[in-house]
Amino acid sequence: MTARDLVLPSFFGDALALGPHWVYDPPKIAGWYAGGIRSYDAPRSTYHPGKVAGDFTHYGDQTLALLESLAADDGSLINWPTDWRRWAEHVRDERTSYFDGATRGTLENFTAGETEPSDSHDLGGASRIAPLFAFTRDVGQLVPLARTQTALTHGDPQVIDAAEFFARAALSVAGGAGFEEAFDEAASHPYDALPAIDWVTLGRDAAAGELAAQAGELGLGCGVEGAFPITLAVAFRHEADPVEALSANAMLGGDSAARGMLLGLLMGARHGLAAFPVKWRKELRSIETIERLLPQ
């Protein structure tokens, strides 16, 4: 597994979700994308003004900022508050990027001179972790990095724990484990607030049913309590087909971009970059920047 195998699919998951992101109407999405989402699309909602096909949502933008930060620091542990300031400067420069609650809350704290994150419970804070795998595969380094980057903007303990869970799971998958084994192993670790075993069970059960209906019941919004098990449900259902996994996730709607970034990481760890369409890489508008920043 190379850095590109793990990092690029996470960006695919975000960019593929841009079209229907934050549209909470799966039948409408199905009408737009007969046969699934296989190509990038411009936003169909009003949340990402100025974005075009192949762009990232604000999650992807912030993940790219993390990659830039890590590359500048040779992959060292995030240095608080230096990288916090770098993040703030980045999102302020992204004039067309949507400012979600976590971003607004964190920037308000920054403006007030407080080095504190928002109290957001959105999964989005945990979804940015893929670039970390480009610089370390050591669990003793990876887990603190995943937690620290999440706590940059999200103070909710379940979201911070979720970042650790997905870091552990993706690392296991990259080492050869299947999703069942990797998720159960990651859930077995003690967490401060995350009911990991229960949420893995929810994801496994949802995968066995009608996925759209199950996802609707869990909640398609940003909150970690719904987005976490839905991410696992899509992964369980489509473990053998990474392209279908990212398409199916985007077709569900809601906060599909946060889920898509984590699914891309998991699917990249399982199958490698070669399992994804070449055009997804070529048509990413930030591909040259990403390639330049990734370790050779």
Ordered by start, the domain boundaries in the chain are: 3-293
Name the token pair of 25.
């109407």
Distance, in Å, from the CA atom of 248 to the CA atom of 77, rounded to the nearest integer, reads 34
Asked if 255 and 17 count as a contact pair (C-beta separation under 8 A), the reply is: no
Name the token pair of 256.
């599909």
Superfamily (CATH H level) for 3-293: ADP-ribosylation/Crystallin J1 (1.10.4080.10)
* pLDDT per residue of the chain (296 residues) written in tens, 0 to 9: 899 999 999 999 999 999 999 999 999 999 999 989 999 999 999 989 889 999 999 899 889 888 888 888 765 655 544 565 666 666 656 555 677 777 778 777 777 777 778 888 999 999 999 999 999 999 999 999 999 889 888 989 999 999 999 999 999 999 999 999 999 999 999 999 999 999 999 999 999 999 999 999 999 999 999 999 999 999 999 999 999 999 999 999 999 999 999 999 999 999 999 999 999 999 999 999 999 999 87
- The confidence score (pLDDT) of residue 84 equals 57
Which residue is associated with the tokens 């893995």? 200
Beta-bridged to residue 223, according to DSSP, are 122
